[in-house]
Amino acid sequence: MKSSQLLYSAVIVGLTAMAGNASAALTGTQTALLDFEIMALGASQGGGAAYYGKANTLGGCPATNASGKCYAEEGFVVGSAFDPDFAGSAGHLHRGDLNPLDIDLHHHADAAGIYVRAADSSAFSLDSFHADILASINPVDTGYWEILGFSTALNGDLHTWDWANNQQPLDIDGLPRVYTGSGPYPTQVAYQRINNTGAGFLDTVLLNNSFKDIKAFWIHYGGYPNAPIDTATFDFHLDNVALSAPKAVPVPAAVYLFGTGLMGLLAVGKRRRFI
């Protein structure tokens, strides 16, 4: 095969790859809804009052360890993030029983956020979820919550952050804070914030387009990727997480123009050789 033909083929393959998606557990028009109602069932049926699994680490969701498992529903696993500063595996999420007829997932200041991924580590789209930040805290915290999306399913180093010249900001107790802000982490591809006010937040959150093709997402209180070792307190109830098949990220027009232009030049060069 001539070099021009090889280059032509490479351009076609490259454009096709950029416009497509990797295979996923959710494909086509398939959707999934995490409503956490299974939590109300017995442990042998997948239910429970607390979940100690670390969904962001390899082996962090042991299926055979009831006390250390993640919550599982619709082919997805839900756990907290690994946090060595909070007694290692002690961080956990809770079954939310504010309304016994509508179970939700409850997270407060004894875990490093909520981490969700597909059990097979495939890609998906995070479309929406319901958040209740009114419950239990009086007065309601006036900070913010971060939602981060990742291009890889496992991200075991979310608790780490390197500060330039060790200039760590201080927490509310005047002690060096481990981390603040949203990163970005090397595999972070999506970001959104829920601003909390004195009135709290009780609504459905619609995610932006950056969450259309991710392999995991993580919700945590702003500035705390780890469970607080200061006196900070917060409260978050998560429900009705709507997921769907990953959506192709549109290829910028300039990339298509470059590719088609290159193919045009190849065609002209080939024509000239036959004139």
Note the pTM of the prediction, 2 decimals: 0.76
pLDDT band at 109 (very low <50, low <70, confident <90, very high): confident
Q: What pLDDT score does 32 carry?
A: 97
39 secondary structure, DSSP code = G
Judgement on whether residues 198 and 260 belong to the same structural domain of the protein: no
Judgement on whether residues 169 and 254 belong to the same structural domain of the protein: no
Q: Give the number of domains in the chain.
A: 2
Cα–Cα separations (whole angstroms), residue 219 to 56, 114, 136, 139, 232 = 12, 5, 19, 21, 17
Judgement on whether residues 269 and 137 belong to the same structural domain of the protein: no
Judgement on whether residues 115 and 91 belong to the same structural domain of the protein: yes
Compare 124 and 40 and report the one with higher pLDDT. 124
The enclosing H or E element of 3 equals: helix 3-19
Q: Note the pLDDT tens digit of each residue in 214-243.
A: 999 999 988 777 888 777 778 899 999 999
Give the mean pLDDT of 125-147. Answer: 77
**d(Cα 244, Cα 127) in Å, to the nearest integer?**
7
Judgement on whether residues 103 and 140 belong to the same structural domain of the protein: yes
Judgement on whether residues 4 and 137 belong to the same structural domain of the protein: no
Q: Note the pLDDT tens digit of each residue in 152-184.
A: 999 988 876 544 444 444 555 556 554 444 456
Check whether 122 has a pLDDT greater than 60. yes
Tally of CB atoms within 10 A around 156: 13
Judgement on whether residues 236 and 256 belong to the same structural domain of the protein: no
Domain limits for position 143: 24-247
Q: What pLDDT score does 66 carry?
A: 61
Q: What pLDDT score does 7 carry?
A: 45
Judgement on whether residues 169 and 257 belong to the same structural domain of the protein: no
Judgement on whether residues 59 and 164 belong to the same structural domain of the protein: yes
Judgement on whether residues 87 and 197 belong to the same structural domain of the protein: yes
Judgement on whether residues 164 and 262 belong to the same structural domain of the protein: no
Q: What pLDDT score does 18 carry?
A: 41
Q: What percent of the chain has pLDDT over 90?
A: 37
Two structure tokens written together for 145: 């919550």
CB 216, CB 70: distance < 8 Å: no
Q: What residues have CB less than 8 Å from 34, skipping those under 6 apart?
A: 73, 74, 76, 78, 116, 240, 241, 243
Judgement on whether residues 39 and 171 belong to the same structural domain of the protein: yes
